[in-house]
Amino acid sequence: MKTKEQLAAEQSAYWKGPGGTMWLGAYERIQRGITGFSEVALGAANARPGERVLDVGCGTGGTTAELANAVGPNGRVLGVDISEPLVGAARAQGLANAAFEVGDATTYPFEAQAFDLIFSRFGVMFFADPVAAFRNIRRAMKPAGRLVFICWRTPQENPWAAVPMRAAMPFLPPMERPGPEDPGQYSFGDRARVERILGQAGFTGLSIEPVDQMLNQGADIPTVMERIGDFGPLARAFKDVAPEQVAKAKEAIAEALEPHATADGVKLAGACWLVRATLP
């Protein structure tokens, strides 16, 4: 079993390196796919003029920009992310009322009791020690502040990712399965685990609501196939496999997507938790 330090080092190397590069390259397409989930999370966050907001794992700062717009000229948003290339892209937006810092949310020296709202879109599932990370985040929240984030539920509830992966698997070497406490895209899929982590970190007033939406993966199957495997677990798997095997995997994926092709695009279901918490 890997130690927390090893897991943290792996996540950091991934997001500073290939994960960051791939996220940046695929960002426009990803952003289109997750727009509906994003709107739900930002709506629940309800950032108000003049507020101070922290965007955890802000990536390229897409949500930071929306939060900055909502808090207006008298508010301020701080985006923190572990990945230099992603923070570079976030800073390049040139937002007047937002700043971006590179740092691990687990140890970043946030100003104490500074933020009215702490927000994250898919940026909190990669902590090697989530209780320590959320304790650090909690200390940054004002006593009357609110935590709002959105994260994926289990792979089984997310066919947009599971259908292509299942189709490709016969052509790929066996993949390392993350343990139930390991960081990763689906590490917050288990509602009881999310409750336990936030409870141990000192949050209260928990609300964990399911959000179910269809993800439009592209206009048609050829369009989806142009970009398949450019980010995430499939990208990681494809990089170590002979080109003929990748071609076979892609054929199988295209076939598996056929039942999901509609006149409005290739649509598969996605499932998230919308999580809200306050302080005692």
Ligand X SMILES: C[S@@+](CC[C@H](N)C(=O)[O-])C[C@H]1O[C@@H](n2cnc3c(N)ncnc32)[C@H](O)[C@@H]1O
Catalog residues that contact ligand X under the rule CB under 6 A: 11, 15, 23, 57-60, 62-63, 80-83, 86, 104-106, 121-123, 126-127
Least CB distance to ligand X at residue 252 (A): 26
Complex with ligand X: residue 4 or 248, whichever CB lies closer: 4
Least CB distance to ligand X at residue 12 (A): 7
Complex with ligand X: residue 18 or 202, whichever CB lies closer: 18
Complex with ligand X: residue 106 or 217, whichever CB lies closer: 106
Least CB distance to ligand X at residue 27 (A): 7
Strand, coil or helix: 244: helix
Complex with ligand X: residue 232 or 265, whichever CB lies closer: 232
Least CB distance to ligand X at residue 218 (A): 19
Residues linked to residue 115 through DSSP beta bridges, in sequence order: 141
Quote helix, strand, coil % in the chain, to nearest 5. 45, 25, 30
CA 109 to chain centre: 22
Least CB distance to ligand X at residue 86 (A): 5
Burial 11-33 (b: 16+ CB within 10 A, else e): bbebbbeebbebbbebbebbeeb
Complex with ligand X: residue 121 or 260, whichever CB lies closer: 121
Complex with ligand X: residue 86 or 272, whichever CB lies closer: 86
Least CB distance to ligand X at residue 90 (A): 9
Residue nearest to ligand X (CB): 59
β-strand 141-152 against 265-278: which pairing, if any? antiparallel
Q: Nearest-5° angle of CA 252, CA 256, CA 261?
A: 130
